[in-house]
Structure 1
Amino acid sequence: MTDVFEKAVAELNLDRSDWQLVKFGDVAIQQKQTVDRENTELTRYVKGEHMYSEDIHLREWGELTDEYLGPAFIRKFEEGDILYGSRRTYLRKVVIAPFEGITSNTTFVIKANEEKIDKRLLPFIMLSEGFSQHSIKNSKGSVNPYVNWKDLAGYEFLLPSVEQQTFIADLFDSIDQVLETEKSTYTRLNLNLEANIEAQIHGVELEGKTINQVLDELEKKIEILPLNKLGKIFKGKGITKSEVVETGLPCIRYGELYTKHHRIIRKYHSFITKESASKSIELKKGDVLLAGSGETISEIGKSASFIDEETVYAGSDIIIFRPDNMDERYLGYLMNSILIRQQLNKVGTGATVMHIYGSDIGKIRVPVIGKNKQKEIGDNLEEIFSSITLVKSRENKTITLRKSLINQVF
Structure 2
Amino acid sequence: MSATHHSRIVGNLFPEGWAVTELGNVVDYGSTQKVELKDVDSDTWVLELEDIEKGTSKLLQRLNTSERAFKSTKNKFEIGDVLYGKLRPYLNKVIVADEDGVCTTEIIPLNAEPNVSNLYLFHWLKSKYFLDYVNEVSYGVNMPRLGTKDAIAAPLVIPPLAEQKVIAEKLDTLLAQVETTKARLECIPRILKTFRQSVLAAAVSGKLSEEWRAARFTLADISDFQNGFAFKSGWFELEGEYQVIKLGNIRDGYLAIENSPAYLNQDVAADYLRFSPEAGDTLISMTGTRFKKDYGFGCLVRNEKNLLVNQRVGRLIPDRSVVLSEFLNIFVRSELFRVQFFTGETGGVNQGNVGSKHIMSINVELPTIEKQTEIVNRVEELFTFADSIEQKAAAALECVNNLTQAILAQAFRGELTADWRAANPDLISAGNSAEALLKKIKTEREALKKQPKKKAAVRIKA
Pick aligned residue for 2:305 from 289, 293, 311: 311
Pick aligned residue for 1:396 from 392, 398, 404: 398
Deviation at 1:287, TM superposition (A): 3.5
Q: Which has the larger helix fraction?
A: 2
Tell me, yes or no, if the aligned pair for 1:263 and 1:336 is still in contact at 8 Å.
Answer: no
Q: Residue type of the partner of 2:365?
A: V
Aligned to 2:442: none
Deviation at 1:319, TM superposition (A): 0.9
Greater Cα radius of gyration, structure 1 or 2: 2
Q: Equivalent residue of 2:192, what SS?
A: helix
Q: Residue type of the partner of 2:181?
A: T
Partner Cα distance (1:389, 1:398) in 2? 14
Aligned to 1:54: 55
Q: Map 1:40-119; keep pairs closer than 5 Å.
A: 48-58=49-59, 60-61=60-61, 68-71=67-70, 84-85=84-85, 89=88, 92=91, 94-96=93-95, 100=99, 104-105=103-104, 108=107, 110-111=109-110, 113=112, 115-116=115-116, 118-119=120-121
Is residue 244 from structure 1 mapped to residue 238 from structure 2 by the alignment? Answer: yes
Q: Equivalent residue of 1:121, what SS?
A: helix
Q: Residue type of the partner of 2:396?
A: R
Tell me, yes or no, if the aligned pair for 2:201 and 2:335 is still in contact at 8 Å.
Answer: no
Aligned to 1:383: 385
Query: Which runs of no fewer than 5 residues in structure 2 stay unpaired?
Result: 1-9, 203-212, 414-462
Query: Which runs of no fewer than 5 residues in structure 1 stay unpaired?
Result: 1-11, 204-220
Q: Equivalent residue of 1:396, what SS?
A: helix
Aligned to 1:264: 254
Aligned to 1:214: none
Alignment deviations for residues 206-262 of structure 1 (CA, whole Å, 9 cap, x no partner):
xxxxxxxxxxxxxxx9877665555333334438595234x97766443344xxx44
Is residue 122 from structure 1 mapped to residue 125 from structure 2 by the alignment? Answer: yes
The Cα RMSD (Å) is 5.3
TM value normalised by structure 2: 0.57
Matched residues, number: 363
Change (3 A) 1:148 1:191: closer
Aligned to 2:223: 231
Aligned to 2:416: none
Aligned to 1:359: 356
Partner Cα distance (1:389, 1:378) in 2? 16
Alignment deviations for residues 161-218 of structure 1 (CA, whole Å, 9 cap, x no partner):
427987799689757744641441231x233224334444447xxxxxxxxxxxxxxx
Change (3 A) 1:201 1:86: same
Identity score, percent: 13
Partner Cα distance (1:271, 1:169) in 2? 54
Aligned to 1:211: none
Partner Cα distance (2:330, 2:56) in 1? 31
Q: Residue type of the partner of 1:55?
A: T
Aligned to 1:184: 184
Tell me, yes or no, if the aligned pair for 2:227 and 2:356 is still in contact at 8 Å.
Answer: no
Which of 1 and 2 has higher RCO (CA within 8 Å, sep 6+)? Answer: 2
Deviation at 1:282, TM superposition (A): 3.6
Tell me, yes or no, if the aligned pair for 2:254 and 2:300 is still in contact at 8 Å.
Answer: yes
Partner Cα distance (1:309, 1:297) in 2? 30
Partner Cα distance (1:363, 1:55) in 2? 48
Partner Cα distance (1:333, 1:69) in 2? 48
Partner Cα distance (1:302, 1:103) in 2? 44
Partner Cα distance (1:19, 1:162) in 2? 7
Change (3 A) 1:138 1:253: same
Aligned to 2:205: none
Q: Residue type of the partner of 2:148?
A: K
